[in-house]
Amino acid sequence: MTALFRLIGTGGVIAYRALFNWTTPAMFVGTLLVGPLFQLLFFAYLGRQLGVADDGFYITGNAVLAASTACVFGGTMAVSNERRFGTLGHVLLSPRSRTAVFLGRVLPYAANGLLIAVTTLTAAALLLGLRVPVDALPGLALALAVAALACGFFGLTLGAIGLRFRDVWLVSNVSVALLLLLTGVNVPAAVLPAWMRVTGELLPITHAAEAARRLVAGDGFRAAAPQLAAEAAIGVAYALLAAALLKLFEAESRRRASLETL
């Protein structure tokens, strides 16, 4: 058990340092902290002009969404960059459980996403004057953490697909755009076409954003619990899907001798 925790914890941190493509603190701050905040401010002021929803709708939704960039791309890099750097074969030859290796790699990206989401929410609340009930803070932190984990496993699923398809970054970029469009963070789900609402229900962020909005509105944890449970279920589903795809595409890549073909 100790070896398993070391594999997940220490291995995940080492992989994060080696595979996540930010090279300087300035790049980290500019890309992962400042970028989501400006996106939030853009949609908040656009929402004011159009009268679609109040500031709280955009602040809360975009704060949850802020975790997605680091988590989705990080989860993708956890697999695809091993292939890109020519080290994937060494990982797959390890006698350790590769499912534990790759699932454990999601944790540092989820922690990173949680940091980004908390920073974005705090800065936006100070700039735009959002009042968050003190008793809602634990539930809000839980909603952000569950969303970050779900996005990380979603990214790992995309990374697993990269074992079979060459241009996994096209898939990742399109997926992030879909999270922006279909999860109801900037456009109320009620005004979306039915097929968009159904698709959004299957994506991470959607239920966490709704739970966070209920908590900020003061409805209490009990009102937000069903949405939090739904978000956690989606995260578990993507984790299982990622594990299954990793095994399937690993076997397929070995059979076709295409493991590290770019």
pLDDT per residue as tens digits for the range 172-218: 889 999 999 999 999 888 888 999 999 999 999 999 999 999 999 99
Residues 155 and 245: their CA atoms lie apart, in Å, by 12
pLDDT of 90 above 80: no
State the chain's mean pLDDT as an integer: 86
Report whether 136 contacts 53 (CB < 8 A): no
The amino acid sitting at 98 is R
The pTM of this model reads 0.89
| Model confidence pLDDT, tens digit, residues 17-56 | 777 766 678 888 888 889 999 999 999 999 989 888 889 9
d(CA 251, CA 80): 16
pLDDT in tens, 127-156: 998 899 999 999 999 999 999 999 999 999
Give 209-252 pLDDT, tens digit per residue: 999 999 999 999 999 999 999 999 999 999 999 989 888 877 77
Residue 179 contacts residue 187 (beta carbons within 8 Å): no
- Residues 111 and 115: their CA atoms lie apart, in Å, by 6
DSSP 191: G
